[in-house]
Structure 1
Amino acid sequence: MPNIQHTIMLSSALALLMSQEAAWAQNNDEIIVTARKQAENILEVPLAVTAISAADIDAANLENIVDLAAFTPGFQLESFNSIPGRYDSTPFIRGVVFDSTDPLRQTVSVFVDGVFVSGGNMMLDFEGIERVEVIKGPQSAQFGRSTFAGAVNYITADPSTEFQGRLSGLAATRDEYEITASVEGPILGDTLSGRLTGRYNFNGGHYDNALDPSQELGEEETLSFGAMLMYQPSDNFKTRLRGFYSEIDDGQPATILLDSSFNSGPFVPGGETIFAGTIPEFDAADIGLNSTDADFDAFIADAATRDVFFSITPDRFGLDREALRISLDGQYDFDNGIALNYVAGYSSEKATSLIDVDSSPDATYTQVANREFEDLQGEIRLSGNAFDESVFWSFGANYYELKFDTGGAFGLQAFGQSFSFGQDGFLDREDVNTLGFFGKVDWDVTDRFSLSFEGRYQEDEIDEGPDANGTFTSFLPRVTADYEPWEDGLFYATYSEGNLPGGFNSNFFDLTADQVTALQTQFAGLDSTYDEETLKNYEIGWKQNFDDLMNLQFSFYKMERVDQVTRAVAQLPNPAFVGDPTQPPIVTETFFVNAAATDIYGAELETNWYPTDNLSLRATLAWTNAEISNFPASGDSGDFEDVFLTDDGFIGQKAERYPPIQITLSGTYDKPIGSLGNMEANWYLRGDILYANEYFISTPNLGESPAVTDARLRTGIRTDRYTLEAFVTNLFEETAPTAANNYIDLSNTTPLFSFGVEAVQVGLRDKRQFGIRAAMNF
C-alpha cells in the first residue's frame, strides 16, 4: 500500500504536469452534451453530468468502462460482481448498489447512441467515440428502464467526409500488447461516408498460479471490429448505420478466497462468524487455483458424460464471450422547425465462464456460468419550439424486447463429478417487453429563469414461466428549475424518480413443500413475487465558468430508496439426495425480496483550471453517505441477521460496497519544443491520482476493503501526425482489491456442501507496469 508521503509527493508534482492537446485541456464550457436528448452546453444543462471526450480518453489512455468510472465522480465499478472475471461487472452511481447479473435489475444502464446495452459493457471500446456522458441521478424520464440511479451514454462520432485514419500500438511489461486502427472518409462525395475500426488487446496475467507457475492468472484477450455508414443527402436529413462485433477470450481470473479461518465471532452466542477488519495483502504462495490444463481436461471429460451445456465451448478455464450489436439512428428536420429523431437497435450475446469458483488451492468446486440474450429496441421522437422559441417540447415512444437465458453447471473437483442447472443448461429464462411513452416541455419563463417538466409512462411485461408472468406499470417524472443570476453561471434544482420494475422468483414454483418450509424459515415473507423498487432524488447544483480560466460543476443531493430489492441466498434440502447419495444433500438457491429503505446524501465537485497556456489541472470529489433508514418486519437484512441473530440495530447501518469518498487529481504540462522535420512538436507530462477510501463489504459493517490510491504517469512528444509516449501505471504498486464480495466458503476449511459458511472473494489488482505507446495519424 502506498504511504501518505507518496500521495503528497505526487500531488505536489501534479502542479507541474498535464497531457496532450486537451487532456481535459479543452474548456468544459465548450463541450456539447445530449444528456436530455437535445444539444446543450455542459455548463448550461441543469443536470449532474460528466463528459469525457475522445481527446480525454486518448490522453489518459482509458481502455474500458472500469477506467472511465475511476475518473468520474460518483461512479463506481468493481472488476466483478458474483462471478469473477469480466462476466458480470455492474456499474453503480451515488451509492445505489444492487448485486445482480440480470440486465433487468441494473441500477445504472449503459447506452451507445441511445441504444440500451443489455450486457457485456466490458466489451465496449472507445474506437470511433466522440465522447462518453455519465449522467447521475434517476434518468428514467429520458432513458427508461434500468436507469434507476443514472446512465452512461457512449456517443459515436460522425465519419469524416475527408479521408483520414489512425494507427496506434502499445507494449507494456507483464505481456500487454495492443493495436488499434481506424480509417474513414467519403464513399459517395459528401453524401455517403464511412468508418472502419479494429482493436486487439492482450494483457498477460499479473499473478502466477502457485499450483502451476507456468500458468498466469488474470490473462485477458479482446478483439473487436466496428463499422459505420452515414448518409446525408441534404442539410435536413442524416442517418447512420453502426455495427460492432467483439470477442473476449480470458483465462482464469486472478482471485483469492479469504476463507472462514479468517472470520471473527461469533459476535453473539449461536451467531454466524464473519470476516471483520480490513482485507490483508496476500503472499504469492497463497495465490493458487485449480485451473491448470490437467484440471480442465478432467472436468471436460466428466462434463461430456453428463451432457453439461456450454453456450461457447471453452478450451481452458476462463471466459469466452461473443457479442454483435447493430444500430440505426437519424434525424429529419422539417421546414416548420419540427425535428424527427429515431433510434433502433439489435444485439445478441453468448458467454460461458468456466472457473475454479472456490478461489482457493483446494480441489473442491468448479462452476460453469452460461448466459445468452437477444434484444430488439426502437424509439421515435418529435421535438420543436413554440411561442417565439420560449418553449421547447419533445414527445416520443419506445419499445424494448429481450429474451434472456442464464444457467450453468456445478463441478465437484474432489469427486470428478458435475451437475447441470436447469433444462439444456439454462436455469432462468426471461422474456421482457417494455413499452414507454415520454415527453418534456422546457419553458424559458424569463431570459434567466427556466422550468422543465419531463415524464415517462412505462409498462414492463415480464414472463419467467407459466406461473411467473405479469405486467408492471409506472409513471416516472422529473421537474427542474434553473436560474442564471449572472453571466456564465447557472443554479438548478431538480426532483426526479426512478424505478426497478418488480418481478418473479420463478424458481420458487419448482420447490418442494419441504423446501418452501425451509426457505420461509430462513426468509420470512419471501414469496414468488417481489414489488418494484423506487428512488426519489432531490438535487441542487451550481455550474460556473470563470473567464475560461476555470470552470466547475457542483451538486448536492438527497435520495430516498424504498422497497429495496435484495438478493436472498438460501440453503435448501436437495430432494435428489434421497434417492441418490452421490447428489449434494444441500442446494443453494437465489431469490429476490423487498427489504430495507435507504437514505442517501451526497455531494460532487468537478473543476478544471487553466492557469497558463501550457498547464491544465483537473480535480473531482464525490462524497456519498448511504444509511439504512427503515426496515419492515418481513424484510431480509442479509448477513446482519445471520451474524447478530436479530434485525435490531440494522437501521443506521452503512450501505455496502461503495466508497464514501472518491477523489481524482490530474495535471498536464504541455510545452512546444520546436520543429521535428517539417512538423511542430510538443513535449508533455501528465500525472493522475485516483483515490477511493475504505468501504464495507457487507451489511454487518464489520469487514472493509482498504482504501485505494492509484497513481499514473506518462510523458511523450507529439506532433500533428505522430505521438510517442512512455508511461507507468500503478506507480506505487497499490494492492487493494478490485472487488471484495461476501461469498460462500467453498474451500476445504468447511465440510463439503456446507454452503452456509461465510467467506470473502477478492479480486487481485494488476501490478505496476511500464510501457510505451505510439500513434500515427494519416
Structure 2
Amino acid sequence: MKLGKIFKPGRIILASSCLTLVPTLPASAQDSSGVLEELLVTARKQEQNLQDVSVAVSLLSGKALAEAHLQNAGELSTLIPTLNLQDSSDPSTSSFNIRGIGTRTFSSGVEPSVSTMLDGVVMARSGMSFIDLIDVQRVEVLRGPQGTLYGKNASGGVVHIITRDPTEEWSGTVAATAIEQDEYRLDGTVSGPLSDTIGLRLTGSAVDDDGWASNAFTGENVNNRESWSLRGKLAWDINDSWDLLWSSDISDSECNCTALSLRSIMESRAQDALIAEQLPVVASDSNQDVNNDEQTISNTEAQGHSLTVNWAPSERYVVTSITAWRGWKSESIVDLDRRPSNPLQLSFPEIPSTDLEQFSQELRVASSGLDWGSFVVGAFYFDQTIDTGNVTTTALFEPFLPATTRTTETSVDSENYALFGEVTFSLNEQWALTLGARYTRDKLSYATDQQGTDNLVFPPEVTTAYDVDEDNFSPKVALQWDINDRHMTYVSYTMGYKGPAFDLASAVGREAVDPETSDAFELGWKSTWADGRLALNVAAFHATYEDFQVESYVDDDLGGLLPAGIRLVNAAEVSTQGIEIDIISQPLDGWTLTAGFAWTDASIDDFPSAPCGAGQQFRDECPDGFQDLSGATLPTTPEYRLTLATSYLWELENLPFNMIFAGNLRAQDEVQYGIAQDPFTVQDAYTIVDLSAAIAGKQTRYKVTGFIKNVFDEDFASIIFGNPAALSPHAYVQLVPKYARRTAGVELRYDF
C-alpha cells in the first residue's frame, strides 16, 4: 500500500547519536537467536545503528517508558544517569540538568541551558516540556552542547520527546491505571489510514490524582491534580517525492501543588513558637504534610501546531521544513512563608501568571550515501513573546499605613536566527571526519511597568526597558575510527553557546547579562561482545563554561544607582567532567539485563562573590552577605548515579497467557540542592527499587500489570532550601515526592 512510504523512519532529523543503552528493554525486542535487537535512531535523514555514530545521546523507547511506568517527562531522570531534574516550588519553572549543567535562575528573560523539544519543535521554556508521556515513540537525550544539527542551540544538552506517527493499518490502545491514594489515569489511541495516501492518529489522556499530602490548616489534600490532553497527527503521502505531517496538541492541568513541607526547624527558645505554630505537623526529612494558610496552585494550559514537509528530489537528498506555533499559559502561587500565619501580611489578589507564544521555522537539506560522505545544512528562525503579571498587597505597616499594593507587568521579546550544519567525510573504510558549525544571532528585549500605591513600600511608578543584540560562531569537529565491525571509538570537540539574558527579578536599571560559552571534549568507545548478546559503551567528557550565568552578590552596582544585593551576572567559571558506562545484555533467551553508570565531577572553578543561603545568614556564617565558592560543587548533581534493570519473559506453553517480570534499581550519591553549599540542603545517598509483574495474553492482546514503586520505602526529597529569616527563621522546606513512599498500582491495557 502506498501509504506505507510516509511512515518510514527519518521524518525528523536528529543529531548523530551514540548509545546510552535503554535501561528497560522490552522482552519483545529480543529475537529468537538471542542476539540483541538493533537499536536505531534517525541521523542525517537516515536510519543508523546507535553503535555506529559519534555524538552522545541517551535513547529510551516508548515501550521501555511504559514498562517502567513513567507518567511524566520529569521522571525521565530516573532512567538516565546523567539527566537530573531541577525541581522547583513552582512546577512551571522546573528544568533539566545534564552533566551538571542547568539553569540556576528562572526569570523569563533567561533561556534554559538544556533545551527541550517535542517532535522537532523547540520549547521556549523548560516548564513546557513536562508533559505526560502518552503514546511516545522514543525519547532522545543529547548530552553536552548542541547546535550543529538542531534548530536552537543549547549549552547543556537537549531532551527530545518524539511521539508516534500514524500507522499503515488500523490499530489502537486503551489503558486504565489505578494507583494508591486515589490516583486514576485513562489513556487511549486510535491510528490508521483514511485513504491510500492519508493517515490519522488520535491520542487522549486524563488524570485524576487526589493528592498525597494534607494541609492541617484547611483539612484538605494538597499536591493533587486534574488534567487532560489531546493530540492528533495527520500524515499525507502526496507522491513519491513529497509528504507532510500535521500535528496538533492541547492540554490543561489544574494542580494544588507544589506544597512544600517543613524539613527542619532549629530547636531553640526563639524557635519554640514557630515549632508550636506548625502542630500537628512536625518537621522531619520524611514529612509530606503542611500547615499553610495560603493556597498553593499551579495551573497550565498548552497547545501547539506544527507542519513538517519533506521533499526528496532524489534518493540521496531530502529537504525538510518544520513550521510551528505554540502557546502556553501558567498561573502559579505558593505560600511563601509555609506557615498558618502571615508574618509579612502579604497577599495576592490575583494569581501571578505567564502567557507565552512562540513561532519557529526550520529549513534543512540532508544527504546520505554520497561517494565521499554525507551532510546536513539548515537555517532556523525563532520568535517568542512572554507576558507576565502579578499583584502584591501588604498590610505589614497597619495601622500606621493603609494596605499598599504593587502591580507588575513585564513583556519579554526574543528573536533567534541561525545557520547550522555538519559535513562528514569518509576518509577511508575505517576513518570518518565530521566538521560542523553554527552561526547564531540573538535579539532580546524587555519592558517592565510597576505601579505602586505609596512611596514608602511600593513606589508609585517604575518603568524600565532594555534590548540587546548578540551573535556567535560555534564550531565542532569529530574524528571516528571504526576499528572493526564490533568496536568503534571517537573523539570530538564542540563549542557551546547560551544567549544573553535579563534578570527581571531585579531589572530596574540593569543591562543584559552576556552570553555564556563552553568548550566540550568527548572520548567514546562503543563495542559489541558475546556474539551480539552484550553491548558495552564508555564515554569520557570534559567541558568548561565561561561567563556562566548565575545569581551572585553585587555591591554598589552601577555607581550606586542600585543597592547591593543578589543579581544575575556572569560571575562564575565552572567545569564538568566524568565517565559514563552503559551495558545491555541478553544472558538467556527471554531475559534482558541493562546497566548505566555515571561519575560526574561538576565543580565551580571561580565564584568569589557567591550568594549565601538564608540559613547561613541566620547562623551568621556570611557576615559580608556573600562567600567565595571557588572549588565548590555544582548543585543538583550527585557524584555518581547507577541504574539497573531486568526483564524476564516466562512463556507458559499450556496457558493462554505469558508472564513478564521486571525490576528497576537506581542509586545515587548524596546531592547538594543549593548553590550556596549550605550543609542543611544536602540530600543523603539513597537507593530505590521498583518491581512489576504482568500477565500478557497470547491471542487476545490484553495485559494486566501490577507494580510497586519504591519497594523498600526509602525516603528522599527532590527540593531542599532554607526559608528567609523574615518568613520562618532557620526553617528548611522540602518536597518529598509521592514515590518517596512505597506505592502500589495496577494497569489494565488492551491493544487492538
TM-score, normalised to structure 1's length? 0.80
How well do the aligned residues superpose, as a CA RMSD in angstroms? 3.1
Q: Deviations over 1:543-570 (max 9, x none)?
A: 1122321112211101101111112488
Q: What is aligned with 1:159?
A: 166
Q: Paired residue for 1:516?
A: none
Q: How does 1:290-301 map to 2 (within 5 A)?
A: 290-291=292-293
Deviates most, 718-727 or 120-129: 120-129
Does residue 684 of structure 2 align to residue 706 of structure 1? yes
Question: Following superposition of structure 1 onto structure 2, how do residues 136-151 of structure 1 map, counting pairs within 5 Å?
Answer: 136-145=143-152, 147-151=154-158
Q: 1:247 aligned to 234, 246, 252, which one?
A: 252
Indicate the residue corresponding to 2:353 in structure 1. 370
Please state how far the C-alpha of 1:157 moved relative to its aligned partner.
2.3
- 1:656 is displaced (CA, Å) by 1.8
Q: Which residue of 1 aligns with 2:188?
A: 181
Q: 2:116 aligns with which of 106, 110, 114?
A: 110
Segment drifting more, 173-182 vs 680-689: 680-689
The residue type paired with residue 688 of structure 2 is D
Matched residues in 1 for 2:706 and 2:177: separation?
A: 10
Partner Cα distance (2:596, 2:94) in 1: 24
Residue deviations 1:580-635, cap 9 Å, x none? xxxxxx99987311111112111111211100012111111111111222346xx5
Distance 2:492 2:631 in 1: 27
Q: Does 1:95 align with 2:100?
A: yes
Q: Using the alignment, how far apart are the partners of 1:246 and 1:258 within structure 2?
A: 33
Task: For residue 493 of structure 1, report the CA deviation from its aligned partner.
Answer: 0.6
Question: Is the 1:621–1:662 contact (alpha carbons within 8 Å) kept by the matching residues of 2?
Answer: yes
In structure 2, runs of 5+ residues without a counterpart are 1-22, 269-281, 448-463, 557-561
Kept in 2, the 8 Å contact 1:28–1:42? The answer is no
Q: Is the 8 A contact 1:35 1:135 kept in 2?
A: no
CA separation of 1:637 and 1:212: change in aligned 2, threshold 3 A: closer
User: What secondary structure sits across from 1:67 in the alignment?
Assistant: helix
What is the alpha-carbon distance in structure 2 between the residues aligned to residue 351 and residue 18 of structure 1? 34
Distance 2:406 2:610 in 1: 26
Instruction: Report the alpha carbon displacement of residue 446 of structure 1 after superposing the two structures with TM.
Output: 0.9
What one-letter code is carried by the residue in structure 2 that aligns with 1:551?
Answer: A
What does 1:442-481 align with in structure 2 at a 5 Å threshold?
442-465=424-447, 467-481=465-479
Q: Does structure 2 conserve the Cα–Cα contact (< 8 Å) formed by 1:28 and 1:43?
A: no
Quote how far apart the aligned CAs of 1:282 are.
4.3
- Deviation track 1:346-372 (CA, whole Å, cap 9, x = no partner) reads 000111012212223433455643111
1:763 corresponding residue in structure 2:
735
Alpha-carbon shift at residue 288 of structure 1 (Å): 2.3
Secondary structure of the corresponding residue to residue 314 of structure 2 = coil
Question: Is residue 407 of structure 1 aligned with residue 375 of structure 2?
Answer: no
* Change in CA separation of 1:532 and 1:759 when aligned onto 2, cut-off 3 Å: farther
3-state SS of the aligned residue for 2:266? helix
- Cα 1:510/1:628, change in 2 over 3 Å: closer
1:545 is matched with: 528
Aligned equivalents of 1:617, 1:280: Cα separation in 2: 40
In structure 2, the partner of 1:522 is: none
Aligned to 2:50: 42
User: How far does residue 53 in structure 1 lie from its aligned partner after superposition?
Assistant: 0.7
**Which of residues 480, 501, 504 in structure 1 aligns to 2:502?**
504
Which SS does the other structure have where 2:580 is aligned? strand
The count of corresponding residues between Structure 1 and Structure 2 is 674
Moved more, 761-770 or 374-383: 761-770
Give matches, 1:490-639, under 5 Å.
Answer: 490-505=488-503, 510=508, 528-546=511-529, 547-568=531-552, 591-631=567-607, 635-639=609-613
Contact 1:449 1:483 survives alignment (8 Å): yes
Q: Report the AA paired with residue 569 of structure 2.
A: V
Q: Which stretch shows the higher mean deviation, 165-174 or 588-597?
A: 588-597
Change (3 A) 1:420 1:281: same
Deviation track 1:626-648 (CA, whole Å, cap 9, x = no partner) reads 1222346xx54555898445777
Partner of 1:328, secondary structure, is strand
Q: How far, CA to CA, are the matches of 2:508 and 2:131 in structure 1?
A: 37
Question: What is the alpha-carbon distance in structure 2 between the residues aligned to residue 557 and residue 98 of structure 1?
Answer: 20
In structure 2, distance between residues paired with 1:255 and 1:596: 30
Q: Which of 358, 377, 383 matches 2:337?
A: 358
- The answer to whether structure 1 residue 227 and structure 2 residue 235 are counterparts is no
Pick from 735, 748, 752 the counterpart of residue 774 of structure 1. Answer: 748
Aligned residue in 1 for 2:279: none
Counterpart position of 2:284:
281
Does structure 2 retain, via aligned residues, the 8 Å contact 1:726–1:771? yes
Q: Deviations over 1:443-471 (max 9, x none)?
A: 11111110101111000000113741021
What letter matches 1:487 in structure 2?
A: D
Counterpart mapping for 1:675-694 below 5 A: 676=655, 680-694=656-670
Cα shift readout 1:689-717 (whole Å, capped 9, x = no counterpart): 12222112334434212223222111011
1:498 CA drift (Å):
1.2
CA distance change for structure 1 residues 105 and 280 in 2, over 3 Å: closer, same or farther?
farther
Q: Tell me the CA shift for residue 481 of structure 1.
A: 0.8
For residues 243 and 604 of structure 1, the distance between their equivalents in structure 2, rounded to whole angstroms, comes to: 37
The one-letter code sitting in structure 1 at the alignment partner of 2:202 is L
Look up the match of 2:452.
Answer: none
| Contact map agreement 1:379 1:399 (CA 8 A) in 2 | yes
Range with greater deviation from structure 2 (54-63 or 201-210)? 201-210
Aligned with residue 73 of structure 1, among 77, 81, 92 = 81
Distance in 2 of aligned mates of 1:498 and 1:560: 10
Mapped pair 1:435 → 2:441: no
CA distance in structure 2 between the aligned counterparts of 1:707 and 1:202, rounded to whole angstroms? 32
For residues 638-684 of structure 1, the C-alpha deviation after alignment (integer angstroms, 9 at most, x for no partner) is 558984457775321111222111111111111111355xxx52101
Which amino acid in 2 is paired with 1:652? Answer: G
Matches within 5 A, 1:391-406: 391-406=373-388
CA contact (8 A) 2:537 2:581 kept: yes
Structure 2 vs 1, CA of residues 670 and 245 (structure 1 numbering), >3 Å: closer, same or farther? same
> Are 1:733 and 2:713 matched, yes or no?
yes
Instruction: Give the residue type in structure 2 aligned to 1:604.
Output: E
Higher relative contact order (CA 8 A, sep 6+): 1
**Aligned equivalent of 2:697, options 691, 712, 719:** 719
CA contact (8 A) 1:568 1:638 kept: no
Structure 2 letter corresponding to 1:472: E
Contact 2:255 2:298 in 1 (8 A): yes
Is the CA contact (8 Å cut-off) linking 1:431 and 1:462 kept in structure 2? yes
Change (3 A) 1:37 1:18: closer
Letter in 2 for 1:739: I
Q: Which amino acid aligns with 1:244?
A: D
**Given residue 377 of structure 1, which amino acid in structure 2 is its aligned partner?**
S
Percent pairwise identity? 23
Which AA in structure 1 matches 2:580? E
Residue ranges of structure 1 left out of the alignment (5+ in a row) = 1-16, 264-278, 297-316, 512-526, 573-585, 751-757
CA distance in 1, matches of 2:628, 2:695: 58
| Partner Cα distance (1:144, 1:610) in 2 | 37
1:414 is displaced (CA, Å) by 7.9
| Contact 2:297–2:332 (Cα < 8 Å) also in 1 | yes
How far does the alpha carbon of each residue in 1:171-197 deviate from its partner, in whole angstroms, 9 at most, with x for none? 1210110000000111122x0000110
Deviation at residue 75 of structure 1 after TM alignment? 0.2
| Stretch moving more, 401-410 or 179-188 | 401-410
Aligned-pair distance for 1:432? 0.4
TM (normalized to structure 2)?
0.83
Once the 2 structures are TM-superposed, how far is the Cα of residue 101 of structure 1 from its aligned partner?
2.6
Indicate how the Cα distance of structure 1 residues 660 and 29 shifts in structure 2: closer, same or farther if over 3 A, else same. Answer: farther
